[in-house]
Structure 1
Amino acid sequence: MVSRPRPLTDVAPAAWIEAGVGDFDSGVHALLPAGFAAYARLPHPVEAADGRPLRWREIAERSGRALDSRTRFKDIAGPADEEPWAGSFPAGLLPVLCEILAAHTATPGHCYFGLWDGWGWLDADGPRFHLPGRDHLLYEGPLDAATEFGDRGPGYFFQQSPNVVWPQDRSWCVATDVDLDSTYVGGSARLVEDLTGGTRIEALPAELSDPLG
């Protein structure tokens, strides 16, 4: 059974992120703290005409254009391509990402989740922690609780990935800004190698100075 996240009334566990991120216009550094050995960009897939998820690499190969961590979707897309989903890591891939992340922390059973306080379905009571341009509510729980956020009601659940996730041991940090079509990860070189070298999730090596959007 998947665990449910618990809201926190003390946002002190997020202080290291507040202190570690850069200014609003500092690129990836506005989302993630400095100090990790490596960083990665996880482009959100596009829904193809037949309903299957289409990776950016497939789109770039079709258009004959290069793809790297600074590529904007419009640089590779054709006129018929749908925009990637922004603001949430894809629900079908979130358990896969959590499985990879769990192998790179000693505390997968104790993680923290930041959720932007602007979601219309959210009961936005409680203290906030602040990142450039965004205020977040803080939750805790085991890593698998990341899949339990979203707009929930009788007979429906529209999943929303946390906007920030990190384990108690701070071995990595994941950020999905509400306006972006990619998720960013900071962590060990081995974690980034597992993300970028695997086949289950599309990931590109990134730099903290990479621009956003």
Structure 2
Amino acid sequence: MTFLPCSDLTAAEWIATSDEHWWKLVTMGPAGFPAYARLRFIPDPTYEGQSENEVGRPSGILSDMEQLRVAAGSLLRHTGSPSEGYLLIWDGWGEDSFPDLVLRAPRVVVPGREYYLCRVSLSDFVSGTIEDSWQAKTDRAMPPPAFIWPKDRAWCITQDVDPHWASIGAEQAMIDPLLTEPRLDVVRVEANQKLPFYF
């Protein structure tokens, strides 16, 4: 199995039926994890109202998708179901970005966003096999997943199209190794912390 579009959306109900405000849900992920962190794809803004266009990506930094795969690979060691997980992919990337099988699947709807649900081998996601298969079917790069989680919901990575970071919800013991992973820039999220956004 590389990726399998889901006609049964039950696996995503815990996200679709969340009581979280939609913006918090799509940026920080489902509530209820003991700890949260941010995976920063580029550094945080240095002043209020700064535009993301003013910030260049430092040389040698992995792509956003590569960083997501590194983070998922670390978290994968802490799940009982590495061979089965799920991706929600935002439908706003345009029809040309999706294989026909995905486009024919129903969508998971939250206020402000709609997603396609795919069942995947998380090991294949981490290795890049799913991206390769996706590109072979579409001749386009795979859009970054908006939500990534294992079947046992031990953790969840959430990435919306607007922030310059992804959120990670998990046990603190799962997040701690990410804080010192040299290929990533991961910082803790404290309770009631005002999160940074570019203008």
TM-score surpassing 0.5? yes
Give the CA RMSD over aligned residues. Answer: 3.1
Alpha-carbon contact 1:31-1:131 (below 8 Å) kept: no
| 1:72 matches 2:45 | yes
Residues 193 and 135 (structure 1), Cα distance of their counterparts in 2 relative to 1, 3 Å cut:
same
Counterpart residue number, 1:106:
80
Residues 154 and 10 (structure 1), Cα distance of their counterparts in 2 relative to 1, 3 Å cut:
closer
| 1:205 matches 2:173 | no
Alpha-carbon contact 2:16-2:110 (below 8 Å) kept: yes
SS of the counterpart of 1:135?
strand
Counterpart residue number, 2:154:
171
Unaligned runs of 5+ in 2: none
Mapped partners of 1:112, 1:79: distance in 2: 32
SS of the counterpart of 2:17?
helix
Amino acid at match of 1:96: V
Deviation of residue 81 (structure 1)?
A: 3.2
SS of the counterpart of 1:140?
strand
Counterpart residue number, 2:166:
183
Query: Which of 9, 25, 33 is matched with 1:11 structurally?
Result: 9
Q: Percent identity over the alignment?
A: 27
Mapped partners of 1:115, 1:78: distance in 2: 23
Mapped partners of 1:11, 1:36: distance in 2: 22
Mapped partners of 2:47, 2:12: distance in 1: 34
Mapped partners of 2:157, 2:140: distance in 1: 23
Higher share in helix: 2
Number of aligned pairs? 182
| 1:35 matches 2:9 | no
Deviation of residue 95 (structure 1)?
A: 3.2
SS of the counterpart of 2:37?
strand
Residues 137 and 73 (structure 1), Cα distance of their counterparts in 2 relative to 1, 3 Å cut:
farther
Alpha-carbon contact 1:21-1:131 (below 8 Å) kept: no
Residues 114 and 199 (structure 1), Cα distance of their counterparts in 2 relative to 1, 3 Å cut:
same
Amino acid at match of 2:31: A
TM-score (norm 1): 0.72
